[in-house]
Structure 1
């Protein structure tokens, strides 16, 4: 994890813990999980925390420093100020461990809690300066390529539709060979928007690297701030999400990634101004807006 310029405010500490988890090593991820799930985490000594996480004291210290703190004592103070990192919902609910044949209402509540947590964490950890720079690049682009496979293809499609509705030339490329062909023709000033929850999806990563080689600006929406895709990209938007026994990482971060594309969409629209307003109005009519319908329905 890249070290922040300064430690997070206690009010956004939980968001930063969640955002850091997807790109963390296995040992660091265990430390973060204890910090997230144990209401008494602020009272744990470095030895206690290391024991509960099944790792070394050195890993605990490194984790604290990777979050921007001078050391673990400073992280403990922030945890205490944040209320011990205690989640709003019961810990058992947020773990997402659903029993076979369990109550369906509990399943719905669990999924809703996980989605709220993921989006809230993503918003709390979002670097608005990075979002602004990404929006500047998209708004000025000759063409925007959107890459993604599997669950990430849904996010890429959402980004493509948003760009197209703003009047931008956007190309959705969710088939690996099509992404490679498209990225090979990009040039400086173009944008490649690459979506990968793991940050390691080979097809997406290959297309993003080729786009970078062609001089295009690479924008990544990913669950890993330290993965190969993040290292390839010029601008990185991190989607937080808690992976559980029944939700793989890509699924866990899907709502967060969609939220980030919406943030990007609005930021680009702000930069395009009246041009965006006109495009949105015309595409709304074309897609069946009230004044543009011809089938007699309302």
Structure 2
């Protein structure tokens, strides 16, 4: 189940009936209502039936309204705790916020993204991806725009422990590289929304060529997640006032770090030497001033 039930509700809206959408919008408008309201009260507030509310809960993967209510209460409690931690009434960034408020709100959002990503981690999927990377002849990493930065980070980490890993920010080159992968290779694709056409296509052609494909995305039922063999889910909610990917990038980087550490654990002792060599090679040379 999604670590952030409100994100799950938000993503469900486009596929809901009109009556179910009213339930979703009411929950998103004020999640605390669900904590306080019984199913009949929520149905009355949404001008719909008990069965519609129950059906909505089940469409999200819950057994019924009671389980949905508990999940929403947990999410609300965590959000309130995070706001209290930074002395905030809300983490939404406003145009008139002072620098200190912006810093506190961004910190709260990004810490929340890391915590939710860690709590929602699928350990079995992580291990499958890590073991595949350890045994791979080559790892091709796909990612465009802001996700390209995360892809570069993973490529550099894997290269430091002697893995053959590559990433291209050029969508045509990355698609070409994905198309010539084989069953000996792994393709890791990174996309926050999971709908970047070039990345999804890259996974499709790599999978058809026989490579194991791994998706890192925040949407577990996205086109990318559906196309991939292994799915690792991040959890981040971007501010409506964002100027660029913020929380989503932090969540991706956290997940990449977790994946890398697991790869190192499975590789064992052989990684010590390349890590030491790359550290020494990159260390700055100091000249004696002679003074």
Distance 1:283 1:117, change over 3 A: same
Q: Which residue of 2 aligns with 1:75?
A: 68
Q: Which residue of 2 aligns with 1:296?
A: 287
What is the total number of aligned residue pairs between the two structures? 279
TM (norm. structure 2) is: 0.83
Contact 2:188 2:213 in 1 (8 A): yes
CA RMSD of aligned residues (A): 3.1
- SS of the residue corresponding to residue 178 of structure 1 reads helix
Contact 1:197 1:250 in 2 (8 A): no
- SS of the residue corresponding to residue 220 of structure 1 reads strand
Of 86, 90, 97, which residue of structure 2 is paired with 1:102?
97
CA distance in 2, matches of 1:263, 1:55: 44
TM (norm. structure 1) is: 0.82
Distance 1:72 1:166, change over 3 A: same
Distance 1:255 1:63, change over 3 A: farther
CA distance in 2, matches of 1:53, 1:33: 7
Contact 1:148 1:174 in 2 (8 A): yes
Q: Which residue of 2 aligns with 1:152?
A: 147
Q: Which runs of 5+ in 2 are unaligned?
A: none
Contact 2:134 2:266 in 1 (8 A): yes
Q: Would you say 1:278 and 2:244 are equivalent positions?
A: no
What pairs up with 1:122-141 in 2 under 5 angstroms?
A: 122-141=117-136
Q: Would you say 1:212 and 2:207 are equivalent positions?
A: yes
Q: Which residue of 1 aligns with 2:263?
A: 268
Q: Which runs of 5+ in 1 are unaligned?
A: 5-12
Higher mean displacement: 26-35 or 210-219: 26-35
Q: Offset at 1:223?
A: 1.3
Of 157, 161, 169, which residue of structure 1 is paired with 2:164?
169
Considering only CA atoms, is the larger Rg found in Structure 1 or Structure 2?
A: 2
- SS of the residue corresponding to residue 236 of structure 1 reads strand
CA distance in 1, matches of 2:178, 2:9: 30
